[in-house]
Structure 1
Amino acid sequence: MAVVAFAARQAPVEEAVSLPLGMAQLSPAGLSEQWLLRFCGDQHWALIAKALGQREAVFHAEDGRPVYAAFCTTSLRFYPLSRPLLGQDAQILSRLFAVSDTRTGSTHQIMVGGERIAKVSMISTFVSHDASRSNTRIFRNTVLGDMQIMPAGPELMMLDGETRETARSLRKAAQVGVQTYYCERPTPSLDFNAVGLLYFPTFSRIAEAAAYARSERPEPVLGRDVVYLGNINQGDRVYVADHGTMSVMTRGDGSLIAAVQTLSAPV
């Protein structure tokens, strides 16, 4: 059975969480981008499980093969802070929507003291490994079960359209990532997830590491959009290059794995 969206559902699938902000959640600039992506990713998967009537975010296809809700894109925005965040309580409202028959999207609003300090939008699709278990041979799959979720609004639909257009234009480009300015080999115990894939927040971490390698004082991040186009196997290297206003990430064979657009403030 496939993922099906029923517009007749009146109430969104959602989860509201309140938690104190401590060292794990914060960075010198404010809210930690890495923590926020990891937290919202877990919320996204938990909401999918909830929509499927499951307690655990562990998914399977009809043939029993493991299925993962892999992200097609994430979009993050930070807002100006009027107070120090350490010790404050954050309220996070996460909601799940149907973007298409094969894609689910979520929105996450982060509030402190009645002020919005960040928002995250995420879109995922279901995928599986083939028999080789190679991360370069991931294929789309369907999950066992039906989800009844509300259709996405204009903001998520616009993000989905922009993501598809970015993917199409990059794959048509004759040359991508020629001028590599950063390279690293991600660490398995730190940068890969439980199913062996390069964990989606790692792409943002690599983008920030590349910016830091260029400048010892990179501009503060106001937002970051990542389009995920592929993955790597453990032991492989990731190469970062400029492509217009974006950064692109490739494998050693030149295959695209991500496009990153970073919004930053002048230092």
Structure 2
Amino acid sequence: MADLDAFLRDLAAESADLEALVADLPPQDWTRPTPAEGWTIAHQIGHLTWTDEVATLAAADARTGGTTFADLLTEAAPRVTTFVDEAAAEAAGAPAPELLRRWRHGRTELADTLRAVPGDAKVPWFGPPMRPGSMATARLMETWAHGQDVADALGVHRVPTDRLRSIAHIGVRTRDFAYTVRGLPVPGEEFRVELRAPSGELWTWGPADASEQVTGPVLDFCLLVTQRRHPDDLTLRATGESAAQWLNIAQAFAGPPGAGRKPGRAG
């Protein structure tokens, strides 16, 4: 529970930082396009609002044994390629103050519901089921990534924090998924990942003597695995053919292969 509380505090802090970017925007700025094609700032906040609400349903099912989340997936199956965009568009249609209130309420409800999930239960999700702590870090990743889209739309530079460690951890853990989702063979050997934290600390994953390595700033790695920047625009260094391949396919989020960003710009 201590770890869960820490993850939830990070999620709350990340959400608060993003809300500070949008809370005082004039109504017309909510319609600004973001690097995600067809999505405005309102779509980005609407998407986070909806996914927090869906995550709450999933966490409630993990606590009660219910099937609300599974039923939602079944209902959405005929629209598997469109229902996420549809939900974002529907939420984006609300006035900004209403959307912000809905988002705040959903964040609080999600945290309370995750805390109530029994320790041995897993929360169902669009990808593999996960423990409550992993769900909190997944929501952190999603909030940070969509917050980057908002920051790019506004031309704002966000100061990186050590909350990026959890996002980087997901990026490392999903290495094999990035290969399998593309139908590619998964490398048999472990990779070494060494990332410099905003504080200057070195964060590491994998054996120190691995022949395949990725090194660089943790911010760049997080931008890579959330596909918010093209690899050519980052200062990550790959040693080994497989590690270099991974930089071009890395994907920390569930779902089909993402289109990523074009080189030379955020969009």
What TM-score do the two structures reach when normalised by structure 1? 0.26
Structure having the higher strand fraction is 1
Structure having the higher helix fraction is 2
What TM-score do the two structures reach when normalised by structure 2? 0.26
